[in-house]
Structure 1
Amino acid sequence: MIPVLSIAIAVSLFLLALAVLCAAIRLLKGPTAQDRVVALDCLYVSGMLMLLILGIRFGHHLYFEVALLIALFGLAGSVAMAKFLLRGEVIE
């Protein structure tokens, strides 16, 4: 692997881990439910990006499939939580 690429992967993983930490703090301390929903969105996006970067690093296709599943379930969960916060019910 090219040394520049390995350094970029290490730096990006560190910054994404920092984003996960900040989002986890906001998820626990968030003053409103909307803050917690946004923090949860940030958590699943950061986790998905970390998996994609690890897939590039190790060159295995399984990481990309798991990242796709995380994106799918994260979007469905975000829509359900937003609907619950707006209307108070998920299923009409």
Structure 2
Amino acid sequence: MRAIKKQLTLKRLIIVFIFAIFVVNYIKQEITIRRIQEDIVNSQEELQELKDKNGELESDLKKATESNEYLEKLARERLGMIKDGEKVVNSQEQN
């Protein structure tokens, strides 16, 4: 009788162990799936930001090809260029 109880107990332990392995693997898969979903969301947000930036750059390019005024503005702002006869005035805020 004891041998039968030991066999049943051993079988139960094996079943519980196998079940525990399945549960652990399931949890690992869920964690991996959630991480991948977060990566997808982050990548989609980054893609949208890049699309917006690309739209702005295309708009700037269109303005630049249509108007010399825009090119003058960029040259003044980014390169610090001035026209002949103009004087540079630096304003500094005092505390």
Larger radius of gyration: 2
Task: With the length of structure 2 as denominator, give the TM-score of the two structures.
Answer: 0.39
The structure carrying a bigger helix percent of its residues is 1
